[in-house]
Structure 1
Amino acid sequence: MSQIDSNQPKFNLKSYLNDFNPWHNIKIMHTNVPNDILAGITVAVIAMPLALAFGVASGLGAEAGMWAAICGGILVGLFGGSNTGVSGPTGPKVVQLAAIIAATKLASGEPDIVFAMSMVFLSGLVCIVLALMKIGRFIYYTPYSVVSGFMCGIGVIIILLEIPPMLGFATPNSVVGAIKQIPYDIMHEKPHALIVSLATFFTILLWPRVTKKEWLPAPLMGLIVGTSIAHLFTFKDIEYIGSMPVGLPHLYWPDFTRFGDMVGGAFALAGLCIFDSLLTCLVADNMTNERHNSDREIFGQGIANLGCGIVGGVTTATATMRTVANIKCGGKTGLASITHGLVLLALMLGLAPYASYIPMACLAGILLKVGMDIIDYRVLPVLHRMPFMDSICFWAVLILTISVDLLVAMGVGITIAFVRIVQELGQAYEQNVVSLNDMDRKLPADVSMPEELKEKVLKLRLEGPLFFGVSDTIYRASSALVDYKYLIVRMARVPMADMSGAYLLDDIIEKAHKQGATVFFTGLRPQVDRTLTRLRVIEKVGREHCLETFNDAILKIQELESDLASGKTNIEEDNLSQV
């Protein structure tokens, strides 16, 4: 066992931490400077109206969305794992944060900003810890039905929450509140607010068909049109963003005195951050034929959320719309993301007062389009043709996302998919039990074995991973093991074994020993051998009975039988001599 362990690669802390070194991003920033700067400016123009809208939707104010976009742009540009990803506030994270803020308001009805920012800061710490644990690769194992249900649910939430402000009323605190409020709002809608929101929405919808110029993106054009209509016709009965602070942000130092209350929300925000960011990175990979570093991306998001928690920004994640725009505009390194953040910083330091003239209904029109874009239209035409378990998974995630909680929905969806795949792997697991007489293959030429012994030699062939999901299959195979003297367990096609699989083998060995039978293992792979050795399963078989091939086991049985026969002959001769 010690010999096996000595072959394991030694842990190298320096090499391990090197994965999170910002030098990976800095050293390539000189390779595409003009295009990166132009792309960053363009993405900043796209990001500004979205950041303002998300800040308002969170309940913390428009400036909170802007500071999040600034932190995401600059810090993830330095520390992130995708060369083309651009970070900032996103729909899923803002929806989650808004629900938490609504549930933790002060007695005065105002948001508990210190609590919220401390939770955002803590979510950044969680992301950093998870990045150091190297969990990023698991995003590739998320089933599409879970992703699709999640995205559709987020889209529906945003649409429902933005209908009241489009009609001139306050944004509801929850989806249930929105559903209850919408009928009243429709019957008492404010025409001026509806005009502004619809003008904004249809401008965003139609602008890409009018022009392909990326320097004037549809969200910015919608913001200009909606705001212009409100002021041109002097709509004074609608709500505006109001004053925004100019200059450096107010700093919020983390206060963990209510750690127990905020840890659940922090993990929820961290989980959404990871999921949202890495899904967008997969989109970017497909567009650029590159491969992002998932763990470094999670680390960068953790750093950005630490910054958000200090400067008063809503949480960040890698944003699909900004990332796609960055790629289309020629951005190829983190310099584009940093430029986008610096442009927004300049706006906040000098032009923030102009945001006070933007109508809330205008931002609602922008977010309505965002909600519609998030919905997965690829899956809608095939909803009625989905495989049964995929359909259950999709609808469970969709309904739970809307009615309960985003992270709960993700957990339930992944659990359903996990149970399904374990069940299918268990059913697909191949094994059979035969005696030597029933085998199709012939014995080695130098082996002669009486027919009555052949019936006493059983072969148990296992094929596939030996893990907890195949316990029922292996149990049924072991129940067929009766009346035998030798058992050969063929494991050449078993790539891995977990503790459950190892103890299943242990049970088979115990059953064999109770019958006075001898067990052989053949074709053990190193990983399986290592597991069985550590769990002391091999020592019950005996290292001398772990052989390379099935023929080796047959020859070993013949040798044992010969030894046994010669031993009996010697005993008989001794008895005769005594007589």
Structure 2
Amino acid sequence: MIQVYRSWILSMSQNQYDQPRFNLKSYLNDFNPWHNIKVMHTNVPNDILAGITVAVIAMPLALAFGVASGLGAEAGMWAAICGGILVGIFGGSNTGVSGPTGPKVVQLAAIIAATKMASGEPDIVFAMSMVFLSGLICIVLALMKIGRFIYYTPYSVVSGFMCGIGVIIILLEIPPMLGFATPNSVMSAIKQIPYDIMHEKPHALIVSLATFATILIWPRLTKKQWLPAPLMGLIVGTSLAHLLQFKDIEYIASMPVGVPHLYWPDFSRFGDMIGGAFALAGLCIFDSLLTCLVADNMTNERHNSDREIFGQGVANMGCGIVGGVTTATATMRTVANIKCGGKTGLASITHGLVLLALMLGLAPYASYIPMACLAGILLKVGMDIIDYRVLPVLHRMPFMDSICFWAVLILTISVDLLVAMGVGITIAFVRIVQELGQAYEQNVVNLNEISRPLPADVSMPEDLKEKVLKLRLEGPLFFGVSDTIYRTSSALVDYKYLIVRMARVPMVDMSGAYLLEDIIDKAHEQGATVFFTGLRPQVERTLNRLKIIEKVTEENCLATFNDAILRIQELESRQSDTEHQVEYEDVSRV
């Protein structure tokens, strides 16, 4: 990991100064939807069939997520429609399919529960304005090119996050499976579950378990993609409720037919919504790009992270206007799309158009679907999100990885998704900085201990060689290694010349620069001269800006170690001539 981190720092430091001049046209072209549109004709039959299949998979999930959000089933459908069509046009993954996802719905549901109106009804205008603002934030972040940072998220953070989301969904869906309302928060669910178990409603439990069992068993009975397990579970659970005439269970509220009600953003409470909007945007980016990485591994292609974030921003702004819950690239739908032969954004667009047709024509029939049936579907979704690859090796994980995993998992469940991510990444960051500091390569030797021969034209007395020290630094000189180097350099005594070799230092931050200044000041206190050799352009530029070079002088910043030796010989020669001149003048006076 340390070598990868060093390589990344090295490449970043080189790229920062080797890039061509900024070109606005080329920069904006990266977000041009024509990149997606121009390839849609290459796989039309398979893309259309894949899109129809994915729409069938997405419909029960969209309905369930809409209900779970607290905004109603139609909110989930409109989010799936916006995500499918808009991200298919503007997104950065040819095979990604977007819509409401578990992590984002959990986050939105918590925000909606905390901002309900006095009547107890959700403040839909506030919620939609926040979703719109989160989309706008995604677009700004995409223009800032932050997509590449997803590759630097530690696996322990990702795993803890996904396991936490899975546990949240499972806990939230237990009450509706037992026939009770969905709790507003995880803590409420934990408090409510014992009571619900003691007073469970048998009919609701039968429907939810039948739905859940169907989703588990159906893939083992058939490989047909056109009738996916979630849809079959929806059919079985709904049919069972009506055949057995279960009247004492709750059903989805009727959904309006036709075009959606439009919500224009109201930013009068901007201060109240900005935090939640950033949380939704951050979760959208993280959720979407992780799914894109899964798609890349399956297709051997490479998505465009920044364009994907841009597409998600457009889709979430659309959701905020039409009343949809927030969207992100969804793993289940993306994997299904790839397995069904989808290869371009046309599949995602087709999926959105099919859902739009269903919404415009079949919306009234959603009121026949039991809430317990949707709870059974979401229970399976929660179980699928958990990272089962990590669970068997939890007791064998490295100590810091284990701390990171459990911290993210516990904070995801008990506090907030974004807080959990921030804490997890901070722990991982501290760990890598600590490891880099411990593994930083440096050494201090005098010329007598150097095995390499001096330049042929250099003659230096042995007693002078003892007074010349070489301090070799290797790797990025940043705050994480400053203490290690300072402890080594502070022990240096009794020297006349100090050569600091920096040919293998790719970058230096302010902490590293001021560490060099401390070394220089300590050398000057002893009457010693300091030389820098092999300074890279970026490092030299930083040291110049902080006026560190002034203390060494330009003449003592040299290209190679041999140049420094020759410079020492020159200074010694001048000093010798000066001493002889002084002696001659003293003799003349006598």
Alpha carbons 1:436, 1:457 under 8 Å: kept: yes
Q: Does residue 89 of structure 1 match 2:100?
A: yes
Q: Tell me, in whole angstroms, the C-alpha distance in 2 between the residues paired with 1:512 and 1:133.
A: 43
Q: Tell me, in whole angstroms, the C-alpha distance in 2 between the residues paired with 1:23 and 1:383.
A: 46
Q: Which residue of 1 aligns with 2:34?
A: 23
2:563 counterpart (552, 562, 568): 552
**Letter of the 2:161 counterpart:** F
Q: Which residue of 2 aligns with 1:422?
A: 433
**Letter of the 1:108 counterpart:** S
Q: Tell me, in whole angstroms, the C-alpha distance in 2 between the residues paired with 1:511 and 1:11.
A: 42
Q: Write the deviation string for residues 328-361 of structure 1: whole angstroms up to 9, x where unpaired.
A: 0111111111110011011111110111100000
1:486 counterpart (476, 479, 497): 497
Q: Which residue of 1 aligns with 2:165?
A: 154
2:148 counterpart (132, 137, 151): 137
Q: Tell me, in whole angstroms, the C-alpha distance in 2 between the residues paired with 1:536 and 1:27.
A: 53
* Distance apart, 1:514 and its partner CA: 2.2
Q: Which residue of 2 aligns with 1:287?
A: 298
* RMSD over aligned Cα atoms: 1.2
Q: How does 1:54-133 map to 2 (within 5 A)?
A: 54-133=65-144
Q: Does residue 515 of structure 1 match 2:550?
A: no
2:387 counterpart (376, 390, 394): 376
Q: Tell me, in whole angstroms, the C-alpha distance in 2 between the residues paired with 1:8 and 1:240.
A: 59
* Distance apart, 1:501 and its partner CA: 1.1
Q: How does 1:10-409 map to 2 (within 5 A)?
A: 10-409=21-420
Moved more, 521-530 or 267-276: 521-530
Secondary structure class of the residue paired with 1:290: coil
Alpha carbons 1:33, 1:335 under 8 Å: kept: yes
* Distance apart, 1:569 and its partner CA: 1.4
Q: Which residue of 1 aligns with 2:8?
A: none
Q: Does residue 440 of structure 1 match 2:440?
A: no
* Distance apart, 1:534 and its partner CA: 2.5
**Letter of the 1:244 counterpart:** M
Alpha carbons 1:433, 1:480 under 8 Å: kept: no
Q: Cα gap change, 1:6/1:115 in structure 2, threshold over 3 Å: closer, same or farther?
A: closer
Q: Tell me, in whole angstroms, the C-alpha distance in 2 between the residues paired with 1:246 and 1:148.
A: 40
Secondary structure class of the residue paired with 2:498: strand
Q: Tell me, in whole angstroms, the C-alpha distance in 1 between the residues paired with 2:558 and 2:173.
A: 68
**Letter of the 1:342 counterpart:** L
* Distance apart, 1:438 and its partner CA: 2.6
Q: Tell me, in whole angstroms, the C-alpha distance in 1 between the residues paired with 2:352 and 2:124.
A: 23
Q: TM-score, normalised by structure 1?
A: 0.98
* Distance apart, 1:570 and its partner CA: 2.2
Q: Cα gap change, 1:440/1:6 in structure 2, threshold over 3 Å: closer, same or farther?
A: closer
Secondary structure class of the residue paired with 1:481: coil
* Distance apart, 1:526 and its partner CA: 2.3
Secondary structure class of the residue paired with 1:351: helix
Q: Does residue 530 of structure 1 match 2:544?
A: no
Q: Tell me, in whole angstroms, the C-alpha distance in 2 between the residues paired with 1:16 and 1:515.
A: 53
Moved more, 163-172 or 523-532: 523-532
Secondary structure class of the residue paired with 1:554: helix
2:477 counterpart (466, 488, 509): 466
Moved more, 187-196 or 361-370: 187-196
Alpha carbons 1:52, 1:65 under 8 Å: kept: yes
Q: Cα gap change, 1:64/1:418 in structure 2, threshold over 3 Å: closer, same or farther?
A: same
**Letter of the 2:262 counterpart:** L
**Letter of the 2:212 counterpart:** F
Alpha carbons 2:17, 2:538 under 8 Å: kept: no
**Letter of the 2:198 counterpart:** M
Secondary structure class of the residue paired with 1:484: coil
Secondary structure class of the residue paired with 2:471: strand
Q: Cα gap change, 1:279/1:6 in structure 2, threshold over 3 Å: closer, same or farther?
A: closer
**Letter of the 2:30 counterpart:** D
Moved more, 558-567 or 326-335: 558-567
Q: Tell me, in whole angstroms, the C-alpha distance in 1 between the residues paired with 2:529 and 2:43.
A: 69
Alpha carbons 2:446, 2:465 under 8 Å: kept: yes
Q: Tell me, in whole angstroms, the C-alpha distance in 2 between the residues paired with 1:460 and 1:56.
A: 65
Number of matched residues? 575
Q: Write the deviation string for residues 225-272 of structure 1: whole angstroms up to 9, x where unpaired.
A: 000101111111110002100000000000111111111100000010
Moved more, 217-226 or 478-487: 478-487
Q: Write the deviation string for residues 26-83 of structure 1: whole angstroms up to 9, x where unpaired.
A: 1111111111111111000000000000000000000000000000001101111111
Q: Write the deviation string for residues 486-545 of structure 1: whole angstroms up to 9, x where unpaired.
A: 110011111211121112112211222222211111112222222222222223212221
Runs ≥4 residues deviating over 6 A: 5-8
**Letter of the 2:582 counterpart:** I
Q: Which residue of 2 aligns with 1:543?
A: 554
2:422 counterpart (389, 411, 419): 411
Q: Tell me, in whole angstroms, the C-alpha distance in 2 between the residues paired with 1:447 and 1:6.
A: 36
Secondary structure class of the residue paired with 1:465: coil
Secondary structure class of the residue paired with 2:249: coil
Q: TM-score, normalised by structure 2?
A: 0.96
**Letter of the 1:510 counterpart:** D
Q: Which residue of 1 aligns with 2:13?
A: none
Q: Tell me, in whole angstroms, the C-alpha distance in 2 between the residues paired with 1:189 and 1:6.
A: 66
* Distance apart, 1:8 and its partner CA: 6.5
Q: Which residue of 1 aligns with 2:10?
A: none
* Distance apart, 1:7 and its partner CA: 7.8
Q: Tell me, in whole angstroms, the C-alpha distance in 2 between the residues paired with 1:240 and 1:150.
A: 32
**Letter of the 1:485 counterpart:** K
Once the two structures are aligned, what percentage of the paired residues are identical?
A: 90
Alpha carbons 1:222, 1:366 under 8 Å: kept: yes
